[in-house]
Structure 1
Amino acid sequence: MNAIFVMLLGLGAMFLGYVFYSKFIAEKIYKLDPNFKTPAHEFEDGVDFVPTNKFVLWGHHFTSVAGAAPIIGPAIAVIWGWVPAFLWVIFGTIFFAGVHDAGAIWASNRNKARSMGSLTGDVVSKRAQTLFMIVIFLVLLMVNAVFATAIAGLLINFPSAVVPVWGAIFVALIIGQIIFRKWMGLGAVSVLGVVALYILIGVGPSVPLTLPDMAMGLSDNAQWILILFGYAAIASLLPVWMLLQPRDYINGLQLFIGLILLYGAVLLLGPDMTAPAFNANTPEGTPSMLPLLFVTIACGAISGFHGLVASGTTSKQLDKETDLRFVGYFGAIGEGSLSLATIIAACAGFATLADWEAVYTSFGQGGVSAFVEGGARIISEGVGLDVGISETLLTVMAVLFAGTTMDTGIRLQRYIFQEWGNIYNISVIQKPLVATILAVGSCLLLAFGAGGADGSGGLAIWPLFGTTNQLLAGLTLMVITVMLVRLGRPMYVTLLPLIFLLIMTVFALIIQLQGFYEKQDYFLFFLDIVVLIAAIWIILEATATLSKVSKENKRNLQR
């Protein structure tokens, strides 16, 4: 099948989802109120609580939730064929991710910008809150440790991306000052930021940079990981307007330009989907598509990490409640469009089926490299851009998104430690600097404790990321569902995705449990059991809470 048809069908479906379904959700389910005083105004402090233009906030939210995951997941999942991946991305974006992301912002916004973990204690139970916080911490630990490894690998493999990646930080600092002090309009600032970023991308291949091998006895991978966490720690303590917002905003614009370039090249080149629609000849050892497809593709369909960002940083910057439809739901559409582009790049970016099969030799192959190589070929042949520049552009896109996710992830981990300090009355960890040190320290402990001197220890627990992350999405939907029931509003828009997600997640955890046992990987086997018990426990807690709230509503109606 021609990739043009796949592209138009996917983008068209997501556009209709935003125009019609998100409007229904905003007006009939969440009932957004433009006059509601948001926490950004109520608790404005110039650091975390900052009322923000919805376009700038969309840039922060979208690039924070995107990261490298909507590239990695779909580029791996196409091993089962491009059609299953395509359908899950489209339906997941419209009926799962958009509802989940917007709902998480709404729930937090209506409760003084509290995180989903904190809200669970009031909405469900204190037991569920404890379990939720553990799952949240595990997801953030995985995301931060693994994304640091992924970024380090890309900077090592594509040294032409080093200058634009780090140069983008200085561009963002300048843009942040201009926006905050209102020296220029947003349109002019946008042009300035994007032009500066693309100049850096053009310069990158001419000045490739590498770190000295074994400096201080550390590999280049370990050196990059330490540098990245040092940067993320500083970034997480800075006011959001200074670096986080402008960096995410410029990165969001850069992504859309990159997507326009990639999609435009598809229109001009018209490549065929060389990968099979349904792959009947998967490599030996490839797990069953059902249910693994639904946890392999998380970001790009639905992801629990989005709920952490939505309730952790986004809700603290919401200027008007009605903005959350654009920020949350359209943010999910942006991520879905990136996942769709990834599927096309990974399935139409190879000249022949044999070339594609040479990459997908086992489950887990493909990933960012398939996206970069396939997308660069489409762009190069479609619009005539040099292959090296095309690879640098796509690599920078992936690295910048992973980097902004790390920025937000460390900040969120800092919030988690501070919330634990509040819950258990431990004043010392309520301090931002102490909480940040604990957040970065836990990530480095995993990175170097499980990975040795190479610092790649985050990969040790990464096989459980998909299931743990989707469990977190289910927990967020559970909290939103209980809130809707208490308000007497229709709950099916969140309950149906919740049921589907929990079934697939528990199913996947059981399958993975068997796999870990057969491989004698007892560490992951034990961790899988912990997550599985947490999942079942929280399902029971949620069921009991929903039943209780439903009975209370019936009694109130009878009075």
Structure 2
Amino acid sequence: MGSLVLMIIGLAMFAAGYLIYSKYLAKRVFKLSSSFQTPAHELKDGVDYVPTNKFILWGHHFTSVAGAAPIVGPAIAVIWGWGPAFLWVTLGTVFFAGMHDLGTLWASLRNKGKSIGALSGRYIGKRGANLFLIVIFLLLLMVIAAFAVVIKNLLISTPTSVIPTWGAIVVALLVGVAVYRMRWPLIPVTVVGVVVLYALIVLGDAVPVVLPESFLGMTPATFWILALFIYGAIASLLPVWVLLQPRDYINGVQLFVGLILLFGSVLIATLFTANKPEIVAPMFNTDLPAGTPSLVPLLFVTIACGAISGFHGMVSSGTSSKQIDKETDARFVGYFGAVGEGLLSLGTILAVIGGIQSVGAWEEIYSEFGAGGVEAFVQGGGALMENGLGLPASLSATVLATMAVLFAATTMDTGMRLLRYVVQEIGQTMKLRITKIPATLIVVVVGLGLTFSQGLGGEGGLRIWPLFGTTNQLLASLSLSIIAVMLMRKRRNPWPAIIPLVLVFVLSFWAAIEQLFSFTAAGNQDWLLFAIDVVIIIASVWVAVEAVMAMRRAMQDPPEPENEDAELVAEREAV
């Protein structure tokens, strides 16, 4: 099978998912209403709660959820063969991720924009809510620390991406002023912004920025990590319209253009060149390198973002729900945001199985489990674009490396804003009032502490990353349990949430148990990861039991009124 056929099948599945299944969810399950007053209007403050054009908000949501993980996960998982990775990405996006992302967005909208962690207290129970917050805190800490290291590595290994990476911030600030202060039309601002971004990519390719071995008394690795944390802290404190919305929107458009270039390269190379991008990887790999874990359950946690991801629920309920203009916009922002990430994962699969030119080269890259990753995506995708579009190899690599950096950077600073919310929520449970700046300082100190815990090169940033996949998927299943409880309370069909809930929880819990044993294996003992994994397993089981009890209560209690704010229902019940 050629890359073009696989691409067409994948695109057709995503299109069917959005045009058919998401419409069913929006109209029949969640019953989105354009007359419902969203938190962005009810609690409008010009900082976090801001009614936003759905296209701009989609850009924020898409680029926030689509960090480096939908590139790294599929680029590693194809070691089991492209067939399992392709099926999990496509089916997972359509039936799992789309439901989860739209559902968490709807749940937050119906609860005054509260985060999924806060909603756990209302729908699951206060006993499980604190444990839920622990899982969320650990996951966000993994994201900001690991993504800082990923970005640092790309800025050092691909110095041509430095200028477009930091130049994108200036472009975003100007776009925000043009749209929100000068009221310029969105389309011409978008066109100019994207053109400038791609001009920065060309400039970066011509003028690579390589820092000296000692820069301001620091190594390049230390400097880039500190710069990223400082930027993330400032970005997380600014009103969303100043930087977060315009940066994510313009990045989203630019990155979508990058995906079009990648998919277009496959089409053009197949139809119009002699060097057709044939798939060199096996559909099912029966000759796995020694030490490769079993396909089931590890595939389903190796590919998290790009199929289903608990982090998406935090973005949906943490920032996106506070900016929805009309509730009906949630389908486009939430479900199509998941489709956007699925497209990135599909593009990654095509790059690493069809862009690499020979079976021997592919087997050399995938000589051990964990190989591949962003570097394989840049290498394979760059070869596709050079072959299909005739772009120089260096420029192609710069385009893809910049894509990866911008995805990771937008996820990192959104993660810092979300972690600040979590710190404030934890403070509330302890009867402490923690304002934005102290909460942000706590996030920065803890994040840098983890990142530099094993050296100033940032080695500690990936210290607890092996737990990301299982933690992320367990969180997704727990978020789906909240959606199921809400649907049951309203006497709506809960099965679109329950089916992925059960499958994801079983597979991710299975993976967490397997990892628990691997952390105690002779010669590979890691007691820190063992302890954290135990905490995550206990918290997940506890919350799952609480969720089952909550579902039973939901079916026994009187049904909630349709199209009513859940907060009003709760207040009436309390009275």
Normalised by the size of structure 2, how large is the TM-score?
0.95
Q: 2:571 matched to which residue of 1?
A: none
Contact in 2 for aligned 1:131/1:538 (Cα 8 Å) = yes
Q: 1:192 matched to which residue of 2?
A: 192
Q: 1:504 matched to which residue of 2?
A: 507
For the pair 1:437 / 2:435, whether they are aligned, the reply is: no
Give the SS at the match of 1:168. helix
Amino acid corresponding to residue 449 of structure 2 in structure 1: L
Q: 1:529 aligns with which of 534, 546, 556?
A: 534
CA distance in 1, matches of 2:312, 2:337: 10
Query: Residues 127-148 of structure 1, C-alpha deviation per residue, up to 9 Å, x if partnerless?
Result: 1111110000000000000000
Amino acid corresponding to residue 187 of structure 2 in structure 1: G
Contact in 2 for aligned 1:144/1:443 (Cα 8 Å) = yes
Contact in 2 for aligned 1:218/1:454 (Cα 8 Å) = no
Contact in 2 for aligned 1:488/1:553 (Cα 8 Å) = no
Contact in 1 for aligned 2:124/2:543 (Cα 8 Å) = no
Give, in angstroms, the shift of residue 212 of structure 1: 2.6
CA distance in 2, matches of 1:298, 1:169: 28
CA distance in 2, matches of 1:366, 1:37: 46
Query: Identity rate of aligned residues, in percent?
Result: 56
Query: Residues 206-255 of structure 1, C-alpha deviation per residue, up to 9 Å, x if partnerless?
Result: 21112231335532111110110011001111110010101100111111
Q: 1:296 aligns with which of 302, 308, 324?
A: 302
CA distance in 2, matches of 1:535, 1:434: 29
Q: 2:414 aligns with which of 403, 408, 411?
A: 408
Q: 1:458 matched to which residue of 2?
A: 461
Q: 1:315 matched to which residue of 2?
A: 321
Q: Please give the residue correspondences for 1:6-45 in structure 2 after superposition, counting only pairs within 5 Å.
A: 6-45=6-45
Query: Residues 393-419 of structure 1, C-alpha deviation per residue, up to 9 Å, x if partnerless?
Result: 000000001000011001111111122
Give the SS at the match of 1:453. coil
Contact in 1 for aligned 2:67/2:409 (Cα 8 Å) = yes
CA distance in 2, matches of 1:266, 1:178: 36
CA distance in 1, matches of 2:172, 2:183: 15
Q: Which range is displaced more, 211-220 or 379-388?
A: 211-220
CA RMSD, aligned part only?
A: 1.3
Give, in angstroms, the shift of residue 553 of structure 1: 5.0
Give the SS at the match of 2:519. helix
Amino acid corresponding to residue 317 of structure 2 in structure 1: S
CA distance in 2, matches of 1:195, 1:205: 15
Q: 2:450 aligns with which of 446, 451, 456?
A: 446
Q: Which range is displaced more, 23-32 or 202-211?
A: 202-211
Q: 2:247 matched to which residue of 1?
A: 247
Q: 1:306 matched to which residue of 2?
A: 312
Q: 1:173 matched to which residue of 2?
A: 173
Contact in 1 for aligned 2:26/2:331 (Cα 8 Å) = yes
Q: Please give the residue correspondences for 1:220-259 in structure 2 after superposition, counting only pairs within 5 Å.
A: 220-259=220-259
Q: Please give the residue correspondences for 1:5-404 in structure 2 after superposition, counting only pairs within 5 Å.
A: 5-215=5-215, 217-270=217-270, 271-404=277-410
Q: 1:488 matched to which residue of 2?
A: 491
Give, in angstroms, the shift of residue 313 of structure 1: 0.2
CA distance in 2, matches of 1:219, 1:244: 29
Q: Give ranges in structure 1 of 5+ residues lacking alignment.
A: none
CA distance in 2, matches of 1:263, 1:208: 27
Q: 1:471 aligns with which of 468, 471, 474?
A: 474
CA distance in 1, matches of 2:432, 2:541: 30
Contact in 2 for aligned 1:89/1:339 (Cα 8 Å) = yes
CA distance in 2, matches of 1:304, 1:182: 37
| Alignment: residue pair count | 553
Contact in 1 for aligned 2:58/2:337 (Cα 8 Å) = yes
Give, in angstroms, the shift of residue 551 of structure 1: 2.8
CA distance in 1, matches of 2:68, 2:206: 25
Give the SS at the match of 1:148. helix
Give the SS at the match of 2:50. coil
Contact in 1 for aligned 2:519/2:526 (Cα 8 Å) = yes
Query: Residues 379-434 of structure 1, C-alpha deviation per residue, up to 9 Å, x if partnerless?
Result: 0011101110000000000000100001100111111112222332212x1x1111
Contact in 1 for aligned 2:221/2:456 (Cα 8 Å) = no
CA distance in 1, matches of 2:68, 2:182: 32
Give the SS at the match of 1:138. helix
Contact in 2 for aligned 1:40/1:318 (Cα 8 Å) = yes
Amino acid corresponding to residue 161 of structure 2 in structure 1: A
Amino acid corresponding to residue 101 of structure 2 in structure 1: D
Q: Give ranges in structure 2 of 5+ residues lacking alignment.
A: 271-276, 562-575
CA distance in 2, matches of 1:218, 1:286: 38
Give, in angstroms, the shift of residue 121 of structure 1: 0.5
Give, in angstroms, the shift of residue 526 of structure 1: 1.5
Give the SS at the match of 1:215. coil
Amino acid corresponding to residue 162 of structure 1 in structure 2: V
CA distance in 2, matches of 1:352, 1:525: 40
Give, in angstroms, the shift of residue 552 of structure 1: 3.0
Contact in 2 for aligned 1:307/1:476 (Cα 8 Å) = yes
Give, in angstroms, the shift of residue 182 of structure 1: 4.1
Give the SS at the match of 1:454. coil
CA distance in 2, matches of 1:185, 1:258: 24
After TM superposition, where is structure 1 displaced by more than 4 Å over at least 4 residues in a row? none
Amino acid corresponding to residue 245 of structure 2 in structure 1: Q
Contact in 1 for aligned 2:162/2:209 (Cα 8 Å) = yes
CA distance in 2, matches of 1:216, 1:453: 14
